[in-house]
Structure 1
Amino acid sequence: MSWIETLGELTAISVSTVDDGIGLVTLNRPERLNAITSTMIDELERVVSAVDGDPELRVVILTGAGRGFCAGLDLESAGTAPGAEQVRPTVAGFMWQDHLATLHERIHRSRKPWIAAVNGPCVGGGFALALACDIRTASPAASFGAVFLKIGVSNCDMGTSYFLPRLVGASRSAELLLTARIFGADEADRIGLLSALDDDPVERALETARLIAANAPFGTWMTKETMWQTLDAPSLRHALDIENRTQIMCSANGDIVEARRAFAEKRPPRWGGL
């Protein structure tokens, strides 16, 4: 059963397979600039589980329907966290906060690379969602910003205080978080937040996804996992130990033998999957 078949009915997002091993997930509330609701979070959580459980799926592209990527939390109809209906307000608030944040962590920890194709406004929780992805492309119409401060709470939310400094540096991150200003796609590209700026960010993301999908599945998973883990490593020695462990694991599953055979026979490798 494919990853799409396991998902059941979806109302806040849509999914499709756009190429061999490449899935497209579209936030599908264009009338609200794809603002986040509890339903959308639940459905995206199901998507992460589905794509991680499908050995044929190699890469996920995340984008938004209509003219925006995601305008952040829908303040008019956000909903509640599962199980929070009959608990005290403080507990309910913490459950909702954890409900939001866990999704971003799950995308970051997914076994498959995620590419955000940002086609318009990408702010608040939408900005955090794009930061949680491994790679970001954007159109010139895209705009970005952590704007939680505008509603009186900390701008460090849903992983922004973790992801943003690692992507653009601490000093620049501090300026963006403390001012809560909106910035355009050109600046996002200039500061290194994007891998590509293109009129069609989904097509550009698809080009990147095809390059990723051509590589060994297990090696790709281990590359993503190791890169992010060593970014948090306290020393070079810790990073090397993680890399060494990973290389031995990858060397043991037969892909390296197939790669050598394919090179000798002058053909693309036929990877064995996960």
Structure 2
Amino acid sequence: MTTTTLATANFDHLLVREAENGIFVVTLNRPERLNALHDALWDELDSLCAVLERDPSVRVVVLTGAGRGFCAGADLDTITALPGGTVTDFMRIQEKGANVIARVKRLPVPVIAAVNGPAAGGGLALALAADVRIGAPEARFNVAFVRLGLSGCDVGVSWLLPRVVGLGHASELMLTGRLIDAAEAYRIGLVNRVMAADDLVPAALRLGREMAANSPFALKLTKEGLQLNVDANSIEAAIALENRNQVLASRTQDAPIAMAAFVAKTTPAFTGR
């Protein structure tokens, strides 16, 4: 894949469509395997991130799964082959998946996970790497690794999950590998809301529209600030970053456009500069 824009990207295992101006829906497309992750899909997710990092036309991404699953985690064929592989083979697979999850988390645009079905193992990590999660009633979540004789700490879950649901809930889920439904996921804060399956992606698009109504640079700095300040050493460190970002944003062409539109109660036409 040599394209540099998401609108013209071609993938074998990802479906990409621009739902509306700047808001893209990316669908994991291996429904016969519940969108399980294998080498090729990890590679395509990595390529997707490379495009998103440099395509200024993308404002928000909605990530979902084809068929009845969001993502069942590592493909069973990959898992069963691990005991026979070498340490270096296993490390290569580990590093590939973990690096992709980290790259999704670092994307400069908001990512909304529309979890339409099971999200297990690496699929849970992918949902956690999003900024916001919305679940259908059919959504199910679990940390699958510990049930497979492996550590529950895998592809970033031990960092991501406690920051979303808190250490207590994360410890329970990671030490038991227990499957939870959408209602419990909502109760512990794993998903922001539960929507009927037919309204899941439309609800994510409505939320994306609210995000995309803000200037691109303001969105980028807000996401950056949230991700850095959740682990800030002190409130002083957090405030220092906030101050820097506010001053930077105030110097953009879009700042006075946003302020004028706010006062006039009109829709701003941002330049992205």
TM bucket (normalised to shorter chain) is over 0.9
Structure 2 vs 1, CA of residues 179 and 264 (structure 1 numbering), >3 Å: closer, same or farther?
closer
- The corresponding residue for 2:213 is 214
Instruction: Indicate whether 1:98 and 2:95 are aligned.
Output: yes
Q: Which runs of 5+ in 2 are unaligned?
A: none
Map Cα deviations across residues 89-141 of structure 1 (whole Å, 9 max, x no partner). 22232121110001111111001111100001111110111001100001001
Determine if contact 2:23/2:208 at 8 Å carries over to the other structure: yes
TM-score (norm 1): 0.92
Higher helix share: 2
3-state DSSP class of the match of 1:162?
Answer: helix
Contact 1:73 1:124 in 2 (8 A): yes
The SS at the match of 1:154 is: coil
Aligned residues: 265
1:63 correspondence with 2:60: no
Preserved contact between residue 215 and residue 258 of structure 2 (Cα < 8 Å)? no
Q: What are the within-5 Å matches in structure 2 for residues 2-17 of structure 1?
A: 2-5=5-8, 7-8=9-10, 10-17=11-18
Matching residue of 1:21:
22
Q: In the alignment, residue 3 of structure 1 is paired with which amino acid?
A: L
Q: Secondary structure at the match of 1:224?
A: helix
Aligned-residue CA RMSD (Å): 1.7
Residue 151 in structure 1 maps to residue 156 in structure 2: no
Q: Distance in 2 between matches of 1:269 and 1:247?
A: 19
Distance 1:98 1:70 in 2: 19
What is the alpha-carbon distance in structure 1 between the residues aligned to residue 80 and residue 100 of structure 2?
15
Partner of 1:83: none
Q: Which amino acid aligns with 2:200?
A: P
Q: Which runs of 5+ in 1 are unaligned?
A: 81-87
Aligned partner letter, 2:187: R
Asked whether the 8 Å contact 1:3–1:53 carries over to 2, the reply is no
Give the Cα–Cα distance (whole angstroms) in 1 for the partners of residues 192 and 22 of structure 2.
21
In the TM superposition, residue 259 of structure 1 has moved relative to its aligned partner by: 2.0
Determine if the alignment matches structure 1 residue 127 to structure 2 residue 124. Answer: yes
Show the 5 A alignment for 1:41-80. Answer: 41-77=42-78
Deviates more, 1:24-33 or 1:259-268: 259-268
The superposition leaves residues 120-166 of structure 1 with CA deviations (integer Å, 9 ceiling, x where unpaired) of 11111101110011000010011000010111110111111111111
Q: Distance in 2 between matches of 1:264 and 1:220?
A: 20
* CA distance in 1 between partners of 2:248 and 2:155 (Å): 32
**Of 163, 174, 178, which aligns to 2:175?**
178
Deviation at 1:13, TM superposition (A): 1.4
* C-alpha separation in 2, matches of 1:125 and 1:235: 32
CA distance in 2, matches of 1:14, 1:260: 37
**1:18-75 superposed Cα distances (whole Å, 9 cap, x missing partner):** 1111011101000000000111011111111212212111000000000010110002
Q: 1:198–1:234: structure 2 CA closer, same or farther, 3 Å change rule? A: same
Distance 1:62 1:140 in 2: 17
Partner of 1:39: 40
Shift of 1:79: 11
User: 2:232 corresponds to which letter in structure 1?
Assistant: A
SS of 2:138's partner is coil
State the alpha-carbon separation in 2 of the partners of residues 264 and 69 from structure 1.
Answer: 41
TM-score, normalised on structure 2? 0.93
**Counterpart-to-counterpart distance in 2, 1:252 and 1:98:** 39
